Amino acid sequence: MANVTVIGAQWGDEGKGKIVDWLASRADAVVRFQGGHNAGHTLVVGDQTYKLSLLPSGIVTGTLSIIGNGVVLDPWHLKAEIAKLEGQGVEINTENFAIADNCPLILPLHRDLDALRETAAGAGKIGTTGRGIGPAYEDKVGRRAIRVCDLAHLDALDAQLDRLCAHHDALRAGFGQPPVDRAALLAELKEIAPFVLQYAQPVWKRLKKVRKAGARILFEGAQGVLLDVDHGTYPFVTSSNTVSGTAASGSGLGPNATGFVLGIVKAYTTRVGSGPFPTELEDATGQRLGERGHEFGTVTGRKRRCGWFDAVLVRQSCAISGVTGIALTKLDVLDGFETVRICTGYRLRGKILDYFPSHAADQAEVEPIYEDMEGWSGTTAGARSWADLPAQAIKYIQRVQELIETPVALVSTSPEREDTILVRDPFED
């Protein structure tokens, strides 16, 4: 039995939540391995809709759900999200949920710094969610983070607080803000500590045991490869590595545990926030895609920018992340278009490119080269087999996999869990 690693192959918002939920019902453990509560997943199960941003999607099905060390954890958000799900009838306890004890914490001072920077940046803002993700990762690599395990030793935190506050007080002074209130911060940590610590453990040990038993592990990524801090559209990226290789370092298991890499790919392209977007449509077609696809961020509620499918970007993402097969989502949004377009290359100052360049100026200047395909008048919504799809929709799927040089493993045709066409089972590969 293979383990499965799920990543977004575009700029996030590809529909990972539904696919992960579908896979989680067949997994024995689900692991979040990077990001924070800036990731939004919407799950539709029967007549219930669950909105997750930090908890692994498996928690809804009662599957063992683990927050790995690669995640930055806001303990107050965690408590609120758990309370909300429990209010919807989801049972969360120490048997089905665990947090890596070496997971860094997002503190109020991180949220403060995030907001201050974005406000001061003006037109140069990155477009963060303002939730403190970036500053928390900075403190992690700066070796001044407070981690989950520190919550059990708050009386011995003075030296760490000295390092942390020395850094943040200087930054806050630059923005005309007062120093960190250490006493208030410590009081907040003491209050939240018992709640978090009940779930804390060395999760690498638990995962090792799960793997040794031959169980199926599902690694759940957040955001998308094009937001990866190394491989994305820098500087308009997130603050962590979103590629599949991070599943190993962000969970405590080796790279040979990641198994089948499933890249989630939307049948068109969307992006939230600032940054380059070669196929963006700022016209009635783009608006139609957004309205039909209900393109608003789960976390922020921000309207997503929409455009045609960019095969160049997805091919690049699949290569960088070692994608074994893709799950194509939201195909039904393209129903009814007379013509659908696919970007197959770029022009940059007279030169043809088959890749997306690294420099921001080049990224902003590339012009998409399109291939037009006949659309379809029939509906793909709710299809559960190839026979249910219009012929032109099948041709579109086939052309997509040719251009991205990666086979289609799944096709999702609605937010409902069962409306999925299974071409290749990731767990049986």
**Residue 299 labelled as part of a binding site:** yes
372-376, long-range: CB within 8 Å, 24+ apart, which pairs? 372/339, 372/340, 372/341, 373/339, 373/340, 373/341, 373/342, 373/399, 374/338, 374/339, 374/340, 375/334, 375/336, 375/337, 375/338, 375/339, 375/340, 376/334, 376/335, 376/336, 376/337
247-271 per-position pLDDT tens digit: 999 999 988 888 999 999 999 999 9
Do 188 and 243 have their domain in common?
A: no
Q: Give the CATH number for residue 283.
A: 3.90.170.10
For the four alpha carbons of 344, 347, 348 and 353, in that order, the dihedral sign comes to positive
Do 233 and 312 have their domain in common?
A: no
pLDDT of residue 73: 97
- pLDDT per residue, tens digit, the chain (429 aa), is 589 999 999 998 898 878 888 888 889 999 999 999 987 777 777 788 888 899 998 898 889 999 999 999 999 999 999 999 999 999 999 999 999 999 999 999 999 999 998 888 776 666 677 789 999 999 999 999 999 999 999 999 999 999 999 999 999 999 999 999 999 999 999 999 999 999 999 999 999 999 999 999 999 998 999 999 999 999 999 999 999 999 999 999 988 888 999 999 999 999 988 899 999 999 999 999 999 988 876 556 678 999 999 999 999 999 999 999 999 999 999 999 999 999 999 999 999 999 999 999 999 999 999 999 999 998 999 999 999 999 999 999 999 999 999 999 999 988 887 889 999 999 887
**Residue 91 labelled as part of a binding site:** no
Q: Give the CATH number for residue 232.
A: 3.40.440.10
CA-to-CA dists, residue 12 to 164, 270, 414, angstroms = 31, 8, 18
Range 257-289 burial, b when 16+ CB lie within 10 A, else e:
bbbbbbbbbbbbbbbbbbbbbbbbbeeebbeeb
Q: Domain end: 237, 260, 283, which one?
A: 260
**Residue 238 labelled as part of a binding site:** yes
**Residue 274 labelled as part of a binding site:** no
Active site residue 41: yes
Do the beta carbons of residue 90 and residue 120 sit within 8 Å? no
Question: In whole angstroms, what is the distance from residue 102 CA to residue 78 CA?
Answer: 16
Do 139 and 187 have their domain in common?
A: yes
pLDDT of residue 428: 83
Pairing of strands 97-100, 41-45: unpaired
pLDDT of residue 391: 96
pLDDT of residue 127: 63
- 59 by DSSP, 3-state: which? helix
Q: Domain end: 143, 174, 196, which one?
A: 196
**Residue 254 labelled as part of a binding site:** no
Q: Domain end: 230, 260, 290, which one?
A: 260
What's the predicted TM-score (pTM) here? 0.92
Question: Which residues constitute the domain of residue 159?
Answer: 108-196
Do the beta carbons of residue 37 and residue 299 sit within 8 Å? yes
Q: Give the CATH number for residue 191.
A: 1.10.300.10
pLDDT of residue 125: 64
pLDDT of residue 21: 80
Among residues 140, 167, 231, 266, the one annotated as catalytic is 140
**Residue 143 labelled as part of a binding site:** yes
Active site residue 84: no
Active site residue 51: no
pLDDT of residue 124: 64
**Residue 301 labelled as part of a binding site:** yes
Among residues 28, 37, 41, 139, the one annotated as catalytic is 41
Do 118 and 246 have their domain in common?
A: no
